[in-house]
Structure 1
Amino acid sequence: MEEVSSLPISASQRGKLISAGYTSISSLFSVSSFDLARVLKISENEALAILEVASQRAGLGRTNGSHAVVSGAQNAWDMLCEEESLGRITTCCADLDEILGGGISCQEVTEIGGVPGIGKTQLGIQLAVNVQIPSDYGGLQGKAIYIDTEGSFMVERALQIAEACVEDMQDYSGLLHKDKQAHQIKMQPKDFLNNIFYFRVCSYTEQIAVINYLEKFVSEHKDVKLVVIDSITFHFRQDFVNMALRTRLLGGLALKLMKLAKKYSLAVVLMNQVTTKYYEGSYQLTLALGDSWSHACTNRIILHWSGNERNARIDKSPSVRSASAAYAVTRRGIRNSTSSCKRVKMM
């Protein structure tokens, strides 16, 4: 995806485009010269010239200020066969996997939101380990990208979960090879850590830059099957006065992540925080970033407390019905809940 920084226009015009959220050339395809002039505070002739340059760089012509890109159709039967062959990433909680239709879907963007301490980061780390499970054990045998915006990723915790994953595979191998010599597990805990590519970002501009870089990175590491962003929210809730700009920037990021998931058949998981919303005379907890963001992801899962028990509820999905499942955060990672589940320290 070519960036506006490569356009042969003035540096001030490139700066205005990026500041307004138009980071890729494709983001200019659906905007009119009038709207671009208004947003950038330039003349309409200047805006038209920018759009012409962008069209030429993309190898497209503009007609009446707009254009469309049309590609060949795909029949629905091929789409269904493709989806069924993709596989899913297990959460290690059988009850949660069941309501998800087998786990987290590839080729889709899944948002997971909830209050602090509910286990969002724990689930993100669990998925980054589980995506690496070899195909012999029903896994995707992939690698993971973990984008940490809050500094909450714990490598010691990832090692704990990886050690538990190796033990689980050994137990599974023992069941498959009864009366025979135990099958040797090739992957070791350190191998799981080697296969998690970690990015730490400290501002929303860094976050945009990393997401823009993802396609190049994934194209060079085609075995990546999962991208976790923990969280998509953090930097976009600070120092933002212009909500229209924030909405445009987030919308652009969502489109890029959807395209990435589809093009490379990988799963994108976005962690979200909570905020309060005034509704029918009282303040209620809701996921952050507003109503427009709620439409940006394919699936939405809300994590919440029910007494001392953690619950996951499917709030939105095109493929599975709305349902809830209890889960627990244990020393070994995400697991099925038990009636004695309590809030305990993991490390």
Structure 2
Amino acid sequence: MLTKSCFDLWKEEKNQTGIVTFCKDLDQAIGNGISVGVITEFCGPPGSGKTQMCIQLAVNVQIPLQLGGLAGKAMFFDTNFGFSPGRLEEIAAACTHHCQRIVQIHRQDLAKSIGHFTDERILDGVYYKHINGCSEMLDALEALHELLKSGQKIKLIIIDSLSFLIRNNIENTLERIRIDHRILTKLHVLAHLYKCAVVITNDVTTRIDSNGTTNSIVIPAIGDSHSHKINQRIVLGQTSDEESSIFIASIEKSLMRPRTLVKFQITEAGIRRFRKK
């Protein structure tokens, strides 16, 4: 029966907890952090912070429910050996320290209930698999579906980078589109059925016009058809500021928010809000 109203959907969406990035400006710009149930894409050139953002989210998805987190696990699919366990541990240590400070200052009553939230527990809560080809990626998503069906509390699925996987394994443009749509369709199903967030990364390329001259427009690498299959796109890049730790996040596509641009920083502790000195 057709009984669910838009008011019901709105209440579900309003009450749904997202995954914070630890950049408050970015979290507010996209609503309430990275949303579950949809595909969010981080797009940008090398060195723009895409993998750093993915690692930060793999940590933050595990923040306890009592502190506004999802208390879930993360599945990290790596296609170009960009993942660093050492960096994960560094960001995890900073996150647990941050949460402990919040408890000490504001919620001492939670000290015992979040005692299990440790650096080691966070590292154990991130599953990792390197993916060599598109067929392996599709098989891995089928296996992940079985894990989720069995009750595994995976609340974040990361593919870093989807564009590297597709562009380096498939030459034919139509075949690229077909495989990309198959992968994204499977991700949509998992996100919807199990209320988990899906984060993918995409590179950028320069468009060449029909005359063979270079168009100055920098575009996402996978193409226009890919853009229709993702729900949210955030383009990352560095600023022209002298400090190399300052970055820009431009929300180019969102289900609820207008286009906007925010600054953030990448520090030893991970992703953080930009603060003027």
- Structure 1 unaligned residues grouped into runs of 5+: 1-70, 341-347
Distance in 2, matches of 1:105 and 1:204, equals 26
Distance in 2, matches of 1:73 and 1:113, equals 38
For residues 40-85 of structure 1, what are the alpha-carbon distances to aligned partners after superposition, in whole Å with 9 as ceiling and x for unaligned? Answer: xxxxxxxxxxxxxxxxxxxxxxxxxxxxxxx856321221122122
Matches within 5 A, 1:59-98: 72=2, 74-98=4-28
- Structure 2 unaligned residues grouped into runs of 5+: none
- Contact 1:222/1:264 (<8 A) preserved: no
Q: Verify: 1:132 aligned to 2:69, yes or no.
A: no
Q: 1:163 aligns with which of 93, 108, 121?
A: 93
Matches within 5 A, 1:230-241: 230-241=160-171
CA separation of 1:207 and 1:140: change in aligned 2, threshold 3 A: same
Q: Verify: 1:183 aligned to 2:111, yes or no.
A: yes
CA separation of 1:87 and 1:181: change in aligned 2, threshold 3 A: closer
Distance in 1, matches of 2:230 and 2:78, equals 19
| Partner SS, residue 205 of structure 2 | strand
CA separation of 1:183 and 1:239: change in aligned 2, threshold 3 A: closer
Shift in Å at residue 232 of structure 1? 0.9
CA separation of 1:182 and 1:260: change in aligned 2, threshold 3 A: closer
Which amino acid is the alignment partner of residue 284 of structure 1? I
For residues 306-326 of structure 1, what are the alpha-carbon distances to aligned partners after superposition, in whole Å with 9 as ceiling and x for unaligned? Answer: 213310011001211211110
Distance in 2, matches of 1:277 and 1:339, equals 35
Match of residue 219 from structure 2? 286
Distance in 2, matches of 1:122 and 1:211, equals 23
Moved over 6 A (4+): none
Distance in 1, matches of 2:129 and 2:49, equals 20
- So what's the TM-score if we normalise by structure 1? 0.73
Shift in Å at residue 281 of structure 1? 6.3
Distance in 2, matches of 1:277 and 1:146, equals 30
The structure that has the greater radius of gyration is 1
Matches within 5 A, 1:1-347: 72=2, 74-177=4-107, 183-184=111-112, 185-278=115-208, 282-308=215-241, 309-339=246-276
Distance in 2, matches of 1:182 and 1:205, equals 45
Distance in 2, matches of 1:238 and 1:276, equals 17
Distance in 2, matches of 1:310 and 1:175, equals 30
- So what's the TM-score if we normalise by structure 2? 0.91
Which amino acid is the alignment partner of residue 118 of structure 1? S
Distance in 1, matches of 2:168 and 2:2, equals 42
Distance in 1, matches of 2:60 and 2:66, equals 13
Aligned length: 268
Give % identity: 34
Match of residue 41 from structure 1? none
Distance in 2, matches of 1:160 and 1:84, equals 33
For residues 130-189 of structure 1, what are the alpha-carbon distances to aligned partners after superposition, in whole Å with 9 as ceiling and x for unaligned? Answer: 000001111111111111111111111111111011100111012214xx6892433110
CA separation of 1:175 and 1:317: change in aligned 2, threshold 3 A: same
Which amino acid is the alignment partner of residue 125 of structure 2? N
| Partner SS, residue 162 of structure 2 | coil
For residues 113-139 of structure 1, what are the alpha-carbon distances to aligned partners after superposition, in whole Å with 9 as ceiling and x for unaligned? Answer: 111011111100100000000011111
CA separation of 1:202 and 1:173: change in aligned 2, threshold 3 A: same
For residues 183-221 of structure 1, what are the alpha-carbon distances to aligned partners after superposition, in whole Å with 9 as ceiling and x for unaligned? Answer: 243311000011111111112221122123221121124
**RMSD of the TM alignment (CA)?**
1.9
Which amino acid is the alignment partner of residue 117 of structure 1? G
For residues 220-272 of structure 1, what are the alpha-carbon distances to aligned partners after superposition, in whole Å with 9 as ceiling and x for unaligned? Answer: 24411110110111121124232111111111111111111011111000111
